[in-house]
Every structure is written in structure tokens, then in C-alpha cells.
């Protein structure tokens, strides 16, 4: 049966909602008055003695040393067993088989009534719940507050502090603890990355930075966490990290802030929680900073996703890891306790406002109104404004069978964030349809097209996931600037601002698509660098794709294996990013000769980024490579795709993720598989931030070069970025499985020009990049000299100058001794950067 979705303006919503029997308000929790004299942190703790102390369980007090993952689980379980205020469970299992344990703590009444609380929270999240009913629910329903630690395995103190918070809530009977318990249930996830914690590495076992994985949910640790958040949607989410130094960071955040975030949530972050922590840390004389370094833009963070997807106050906390564990644990606990207390004191107001954000989102969707860009910190100016164009609907085409898996994955990701998705029951003519990267045009969409109206409570999340562009408001980049799901998946679609009421049917939950690959070819992965290095991410992302998505057997090789003749067991060699010059040296003359001979005899070399550079260095390929002069810190650019086996199921174009990658030119234009169109072409399209990206026009993104009886398939940039660029990953899959045209045997002639050009490109591990007007060059040099930095300079677009600052060891921002202080130093020096990219 066809159902017509009738979107009704909030002004005429007179929906009578009967609260279900057994809902939380049937057994109201006592509410502590916010006017009480009870102080959150100066109240003397009173323990009732029924919960075992951490020392009695572990043999030491929290803060004496860092707990192990097993000790964290042991203490959590012991507290649960002893307390009727706690229930616990496992939300996921890591790649190495470790459980992600969580605890929920509240009054015994609220713990018994968790299912009823779920129902009440669901009604508060429903934009159609009338305001009077929402106010009643807000008075009688506890808030849901989350504390999560250790998403980066080497940043341990968030776990230890979260365990102390759990112990205090379970074991204290004083008014400060009682106020939190009476007004909230607190979900505590001590460690989000148990494998990384045990290995003392930032990343997980597949080298994923899981504070970049939130929207894609490629890792089970992330996926399980968000599924639990859907069950217990937060109004506050604390994500506890560590950084270099001894200071503490908490919000307000640095600019940029993503435009389509509900403003009340930002206000909570800055003026409720941020203000409370500023007051507490100032009173105690604890060094802290805010409005610097940590932005709130990319939709992969543990603050942006809770804020945009759940209208929570998502907050990143960072404690300097140079402090001893006792200080780190205490200060992390202090920010958790102060934030939980501030939420509890304003619980009814917060829940009422929380419902109002969903109602307002529905209204915005009905009006087709996108939130504008703004900056939040003094002295900053908006560089890009959100276009003044109505957007009421997004559509995804479903009429290309070759892209069914990618389309299903986009729909599944939307549904699993509670977005309502529909299918057109009959063709629909849209007068102002704007296909991604194309002008508006009258278009008839076929029956079966997916329709995602913005008139729903998840409007902000829909815009975050289906946008054509992120409209970067401020030129500072802690991470990437483009992540639209259809663009990543190479799924056709677009938007409309027209008022439409199409005949449509709700889409049932979509199962995870199967992308298994089969091939008789034996596959090898050449890992150029240690998995502990940042370049090891590319290898980890590839291993994840091979193991979990494609389920394709492979063997891992290192340069010494190639020199030792082990390529005889491999038909396809996948060479992800890495330090190419160092790898070429490690191969030695014997290894480089073995690699050339293997390809010439029919081997298939498939390399990207540093892997493409290594092919040129080894004389396998004649492509020429150069460093870019543009500033593209992580954006999506359309490439034009030629026909042939490598483009099977891809189509005539695909979006390439690009972040300061090499500029590649083929020795023979006939070898080009995908290329960037000219910058003045109607096919040119970029989503995200870029300065000078026109230099890519006409250059190659992918080549398939015949080499003797074999092939070198090379990608200038990463085609499997974080394992969510599914559009270009399909070309990698084709490069493994497709029958490529047989090539005429020819002598392998070294390409000295190509090799020399590749050798001139230095190996760089996560450099700092800074582009400024030439007039500011001396100020930057003075600032960098003050830090003892070394750097290279090159001319950039528009007469600017680019500083590429060496980062020995590829330190991330959290480990780097001074990178986090660079933005402040530039501001003090009066520098107005065109682009600042810090190491991740």
C-alpha cells in the first residue's frame, strides 16, 4: 500500500499524545532544587561503604598508576555486583576480542525503570510531541549523560577518571552525588579503544583513529557505541582525551564550527559547561585554555556527532600528558563531575530545550532553511557563507544496479541514526532538482528513488551527511573538510527546495550490503613503514577493507621480502601510502630489480600516494609526480573516468578524496583511467575547502600503465581513505579482480626523469602546513624560529607563501611539543593565515 507522507507545520500540530503506562513519569524521581547550597566540588564526600573501593579490588588507588583494560573491566564489574545503582553490559567486541564494557548508574528506582526512561526520552526526541507533554516529561524524566574515555589508546587518564566517577556515583550518599543521581542516569564507557590501550597506541588494531570514525562507523568499537547511544540518547557527552604539555583544554572550542548544529547545544557547551569549568579551574588555579586548537567541524569526532546527531552538548576534554597520572586522573574527574553536576542542576530546563531543538529542526526542514555559518571567537571572520538556497529534500538515485551496495550503505547509515527514509512510489518531476555538483534543472526522478525530507527531527544530521558542500567558515583545519555520504560512495543524487508531497513508502531497515570479492589471483600487501607510524594508517585501512569488507586472503610483505624473492607467491601487489624514499632504499638495487622484473613478467602493481611514488622510484612506472602548490586539506574533487575494466560499476565520474597529495601526469595519455577536469570545465566540482586546486585540472588521478606483460595501476591520492571512500575503493577492487588487457611484451627501460622527479619529493610524516600572504612571511619565520622549527617554503596560489614544517617522527597534535600553541602564536604575531593544517 502506498502511504502519502503528510508534513504538517508545527503551528497546526495539535497532536494528543498519551504517555504510555509505565513511563518514567509514573514513578517520578525526586528533583534536587538548583537553589540548594550544596556545592558540586566542595561538599565533603560521604561514602556509604557498600561498594568496594578501587584499592580493595585492584590493590591500588585510582591515580596511583594507569589501570589496564582488564583491571578497568574488573573494577566496573565489582561495582556493578555490589550496587543496586548500577547495571552494566558489553556494547561491542574489539578486533582483538576485547569487550567494551559500559556501566549505567542512577538511583535504584531509575535503574529499575530504564525501559520506561527510554520511552520517555524517545517521546522527548519526537518533534511531534506537543510542548505541554514535553514539559511534563522533562520534569519527571532523568537526563541521560555520557562519560567516555580513551578513544585514543595512549591517552589513558580518561578511563581512570571515569572509573572514579562511577565509584563516586555508586558509593556516595552526600548531596553532591545525590543531585546527579536524582536528576540523571549516567552512562560510563571507561575505554573506547581497549586494543589501543593495551598496545599504548593512539589507534586501534587496524590503525584507525576512532575519533575520526564516528559517522562512518567502520569499526565495531564505534558502531556498538553509537547503537547504545541510540538506545540512551545523550543530552551531554564527554569525550576525555590527553594532549601534550600540562594544561587542560575544555570548550569553548576553536573555530570552525559546523554550520548546521542546533544553536542551543553550542550555547550549553560554551555557557553552561564551559563556564562552569572555567569557574572551577580558575578558583583552584589549575592551568587551562580554550577557544584554541580543537575545532568542532568534521562529523567524525566524539563531540560533533553527539551534538549534530543527538542534539547533545558534545565536548572534547584534553589533559596534558606530561602531568603525572594522579594529576591527570584528578583533573579529568573534576571536569566530569563539574559537567555532570551542571547538567543535573538544570535537568528540566535542559530536557525541555532538548525537545525544542528537535521541534525546531522539523520547522527548519519544512521551511527549507539551512543554518548559516558563523564564527564564535573574537577576531575571526567568516570566509564562506552557506548559500541562500532553500533545501527541503534530498534524493538518492537507486536505478543503477552496479551501485546498489554503495546506495544501500548510505541509506543504512542514515537509518541507523534515526533518519526517516522513503522510496518514491511513482515518478516525480522536480522543477529545481540540483544534482550534486550540477546546476538546478527540471528533472523527473524515477519510481524507487530514495527520498529523504529535511522536515524531521534529524534535519541537522541529514544536512551533515547529505550536503553538497560543508561551506568551511574559517580556514583552520584540524581534520578533513568534506565527508558527504553520497559523494564518498559515488551515489547519484541531489536536493530540492520545492514544496513537495510525493507518494512514497517508508523504507524498511536496510541490511549491511555484501561486498565480498573473489579472485583466483594471489594478493600481497607491501607495507613500507611500521604500523605505528602515521603512514601505517593506509596499510591498516587496507587490511580492514580486505579482511572485513572484501573477505579476501592476502599476505603482508615488507621491502626485505621483495629483495628476498618472495614476489613469486603474489599475482597482485597492493602498495598503500608510506615513505617511498625510505622504502626504495630498503629495497636496495636487488629489491628494485626484483620488483621491475616481477611486473614485467605479468605481475600487477597497484599503488597509491607513496605507493605510486615508489613505483616511479623503482623504475616500474613512467608517471611524473610533483608536490602540489595548492591548499586542499582534505576535500572531495570530481574526476572523469574513462571506460574499461577498471571503471566497471563506477560510472563516468567519481569523487576523489584529496589532501595535499601528489600531482600525477601519465607518460602516455592513453594510460589515464581517471583525471581531474579543467578548472573552467562544467565538470569541475569540489566539495570542501581549497585554494589553488585548479592546478589539478587535466592531471591524472588514476593510471593503468602497461609494463612488459604486467600492469602498474597507480592512484595519486588515497582511494581508501579511512575505509569510507567507497567510490574510489571500487576502482581498487577492480584493479585486483578485473581482467586487464594483455600487453605487448616490451623491454623495461628505466625512466630516469620520472625517477628523479619522484626522488625530489621528500618523505614527510604529518607535517604542519601553513599558508599566509607573502607580506606575513617574516612574522611566520620569526614565530617558527621561536619554536625551533625547521621548514621548507614554496610559492602558493595568489602570491602567497607555504611553510611546510618538519614533524620528525610524525607526531600527532596530542604528542607534538608545540604545534598546539602555533595558532595562538600566529594570532599574537598579527598573522592572518589563508590555511593552517596541524598534524592529527
Please provide the distance, in angstroms rounded to a whole number, between the alpha carbons at the two ends of the chain: 50
Q: Which residues make beta-bridge pairs with 636?
A: 657, 687
Residue 777: strand, helix, or coil: helix
The CA-based angle 133-135-136, given to 5 degrees, is 65
Distances (CA, A) of 715 to 11, 481, 545, 697, 728: 53, 21, 17, 16, 10
Instruction: Give the separation between CA 102 and CA 87, rounded to whole angstroms.
Output: 9
The CA-based angle 27-33-35, given to 5 degrees, is 175
Strands (E), 454-532: 476-477, 493-496, 503-506, 523-526
User: What is the sign of the dihedral through the CA atoms of 283, 286, 291 and 295?
Assistant: negative
Catalytic residue, chosen from 66, 318, 331, 537, is 318
Cβ atoms 96, 70 nearer than 8 A: no
Cβ atoms 211, 302 nearer than 8 A: yes
Diameter of the chain measured on Cα atoms = 86
Instruction: Give the separation between CA 523 and CA 34, rounded to whole angstroms.
Output: 64
Q: Which residues make beta-bridge pairs with 526?
A: 557
- CB burial of 269-285 (b: ≥16 within 10 Å; e: otherwise) equals bbebbbebbbebbeeee
Q: Which residues make beta-bridge pairs with 315?
A: 238
From the CB of residue 327, how many other CB atoms can be counted at a distance below 10 Å? 17
**What string of H, E and C letters represents the secondary structure of 527-565?**
CCCCCCCCCHHHHHHHHHHHHHHCCCCCEEECHHHHHCC
Instruction: Give the separation between CA 657 and CA 640, rounded to whole angstroms.
Output: 14
Instruction: Give the separation between CA 502 and CA 422, rounded to whole angstroms.
Output: 10
Instruction: Give residues with Cβ within 8 angstroms of 437, minimum separation 6.
Output: 468, 638, 685, 687
Cβ atoms 75, 88 nearer than 8 A: no
DSSP 696-722: GTT-EEEEEEEETTEEEEEESS-SSGG
Distances (CA, A) of 702 to 626, 713, 813: 15, 7, 31
DSSP 406-452: HHHHHHHHHHTTT---EEESS-EEEEEEEETTS-EEEEEEPTT-EEE
Nearest to 473 by CA among 637, 302, 261, 264: 261
Catalytic, 718? Answer: no
DSSP 57-119: HHSS-TTSSPPPHHHHHHHHHHHHHH-TTEEEEEEEE-TTS-EEEEEEE--HHHHHTHHHHHH
Instruction: Give the separation between CA 385 and CA 66, rounded to whole angstroms.
Output: 46
Q: Which residues make beta-bridge pairs with 430?
A: 443
Q: Which residues make beta-bridge pairs with 284?
A: none
User: Which residues are designated catalytic?
Assistant: 318
Amino acid at each position: 500500500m502506498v502511504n502519502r507522507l503528510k508534513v504538517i507545520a508545527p503551528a497546526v500540530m495539535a497532536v494528543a499524545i498519551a504517555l504510555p503506562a509505565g513511563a518514567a513519569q509514573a514513578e517520578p524521581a525526586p528533583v534536587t532544587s538548583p537553589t540548594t547550597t550544596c556545592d558540586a566540588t566542595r561538599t565533603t564526600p560521604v561514602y556509604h561503604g557498600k561498594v568496594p573501593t578501587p584499592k580493595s579490588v585492584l590493590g591500588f588507588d585510582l591515580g596511583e598508576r594507569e589501570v589496564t583494560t582488564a583491571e578497568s573491566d574488573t573494577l566496573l564489574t565489582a561495582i556493578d555486583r555490589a550496587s543496586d545503582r548500577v547495571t552494566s553490559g558489553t556494547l561491542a567486541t574489539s578486533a582483538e576480542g576485547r569487550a567494551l564494557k559500559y556501566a549505567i548508574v542512577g538511583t535504584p528506582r531509575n535503574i529499575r525503570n530504564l525501559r520506561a526512561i527510554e520511552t520517555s526520552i524517545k517521546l522527548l526526541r519526537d518533534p511531534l510531541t506537543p510542548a505541554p507533554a514535553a514539559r511534563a516529561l522533562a520534569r519527571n524524566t532523568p537526563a541521560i549523560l555520557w562519560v567516555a574515555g580513551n578513544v585514543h589508546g595512549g591517552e589513558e587518564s580518561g578511563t581512570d577518571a571515569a572509573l572514579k566517577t562511577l565509584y563516586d556515583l555508586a558509593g556516595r550518599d552526600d548531596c553532591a552525588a545525590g543531585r546527579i543521581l536524582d536528576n540523571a542516569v549516567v552512562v560510563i564507557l571507561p575505554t573506547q579503544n581497549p586494543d589501543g590501550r593495551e598496545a599504548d597506541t593512539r589507534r586501534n588494531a587496524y590503525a584507525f583513529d576512532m575519533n575520526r570514525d564516528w559517522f562512518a562507523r567502520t569499526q565495531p568499537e564505534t558502531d556498538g557505541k553509537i547503537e547504545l547511544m541510540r538506545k540512551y540518547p545523550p543530552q551531554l557527552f564527554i569525550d576525555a582525551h590527553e594532549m601534550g604539555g600540562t594544561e587542560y583544554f575544555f570548550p569553548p572550542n576553536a573555530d570552525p564550527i559546523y554550520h548546521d548544529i542546533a544553536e542551543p547545544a553550542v550555547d550549553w557547551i560554551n555557557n553552561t559547561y564551559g563556564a562552569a569549568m572555567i569557574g572551577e579551574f580558575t578558583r583552584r588555579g589549575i592551568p587551562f585554555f580554550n577557544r584554541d586548537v580543537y575545532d568542532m567541524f568534521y562529523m567524525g569526532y566524539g563531540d560533533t556527532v553527539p551534538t549534530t546527531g543527538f542534539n547533545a552538548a558534545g565536548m572534547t576534554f584534553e589533559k596534558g600528558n606530561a602531568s603525572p597520572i594522579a594529576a591527570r586522573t584528578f583533573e579529568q574527574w573534576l571536569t566530569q563531575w563539574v559537567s555532570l553536576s551542571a547538567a543535573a542542576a538544570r535537568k528540566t530546563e535542559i530536557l525541555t530545550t532538548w525537545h525544542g531543538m528537535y521541534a525546531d529542526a522539523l520547522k527548519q526542514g519544512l521551511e527549507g532553511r539551512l543554518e548559516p555559518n558563523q564564527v564564535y571567537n573574537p577576531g575571526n571572520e567568516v570566509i564562506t557563507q552557506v548559500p541562500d538556497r532553500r533545501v527541503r529534500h534530498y534524493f538518492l538515485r537507486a536505478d543503477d544496479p552496479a551501485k546498489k551496495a554503495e546506495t544501500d550503505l548510505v541509506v543504512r547509515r542514515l537509518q541507523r541514526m534515526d533518519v526517516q527514509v522513503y522510496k518514491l512510489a511513482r515518478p516525480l518531476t522536480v522543477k529545481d532538482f540540483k544534482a550534486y555538483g550540477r546546476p538546478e534543472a527540471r528533472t523527473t526522478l524515477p519510481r524507487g528513488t530514495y527520498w529523504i525530507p529535511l522536515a524531521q527531527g534529524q534535519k541537522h544530521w541529514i544536512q551533515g551527511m547529505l550536503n553538497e558542500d560543508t561551506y568551511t567558515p574559517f580556514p583552520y583545519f584540524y581534520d578533513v573538510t568534506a565527508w558527504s555520504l553520497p559523494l564518498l560512495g559515488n551515489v547519484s543524487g541531489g536536493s530540492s527546495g520545492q514544496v513537495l508531497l510525493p507518494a512514497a513508502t517508508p523504507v524498511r531497515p536496510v541490511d549491511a550490503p555484501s561486498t565480498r570479492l573473489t579472485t583466483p589471483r594471489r594478493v600481497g600487501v607491501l607495507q613500507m613503514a611500521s604500523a605505528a607510524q602515521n603512514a601505517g594508517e593506509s596499510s591498516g585501512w587496507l587490511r580492514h577493507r580486505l579482511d572485513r569488507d572484501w573477505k579476501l586472503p592476502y599476505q603482508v610483505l615488507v621491502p626485505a621480502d621483495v629483495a628476498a624473492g618472495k614476489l613469486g607467491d603474489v599475482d597482485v601487489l597492493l602498495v598503500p601510502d608510506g615513505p617511498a624514499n625510505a622504502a626504495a632504499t630498503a629495497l636496495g638495487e636487488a629489491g628494485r630489480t626484483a620488483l621491475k622484473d616481477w611486473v614485467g613478467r605479468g605481475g600487477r602493481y597497484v599503488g597509491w600516494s607513496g605507493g605510486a611514488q615508489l613505483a616511479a622510484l623503482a623504475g616500474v612506472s613512467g608517471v611524473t609526480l610533483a608536490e602540489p602548490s595548492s591548499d586542499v586539506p582534505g576535500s572531495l574533487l570530481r574526476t572523469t573516468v574513462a571506460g574499461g575494466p577498471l571503471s566497471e560499476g563506477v560510472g563516468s565520474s567519481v569523487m576523489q578524496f584529496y589532501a595535499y597529495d601528489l600531482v600525477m601526469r601519465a607518460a602516455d595519455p592513453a594510460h589515464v583511467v581517471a583525471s581531474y577536469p579543467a578548472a573552467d570545465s562544467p565538470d569541475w566540482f569540489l566539495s570542501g575547502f581549497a585554494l589553488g586546486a585548479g592546478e589539478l585540472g587535466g592531471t591524472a588521478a588514476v593510471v593503468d600503465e602497461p609494463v612488459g606483460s604486467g600492469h602498474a595501476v597507480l592512484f595519486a591520492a588515497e582511494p581508501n581513505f579511512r575505509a569510507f571512500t567507497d567510490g574510489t575503493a571500487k576502482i581498487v577492487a577492480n584493479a585486483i579482480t578485473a581482467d586487464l588487457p594483455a600487453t605487448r611484451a616490451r623491454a623495461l627501460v628505466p625512466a630516469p626523469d620520472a625517477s628523479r622527479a619522484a626522488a625530489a619529493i621528500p618523505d614527510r610524516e604529518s607535517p604542519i602546513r601553513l599558508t599566509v600572504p607573502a607580506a606575513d612571511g617574516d612574522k611566520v619565520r620569526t614565530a617558527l624560529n621561536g619554536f625551533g622549527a625547521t621548514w621548507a617554503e614554496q610559492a602558493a596560489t595568489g602570491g602567497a607563501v607555504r611553510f611546510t614544517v618538519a614533524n620528525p617522527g610524525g607526531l600527532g597534535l596530542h604528542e607534538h611539543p608545540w604545534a598546539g600553541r602555533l595558532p595562538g602564536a600566529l594570532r599574537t604575531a598579527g598573522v592572518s593565515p589563508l590555511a593552517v593544517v596541524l598534524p592529527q
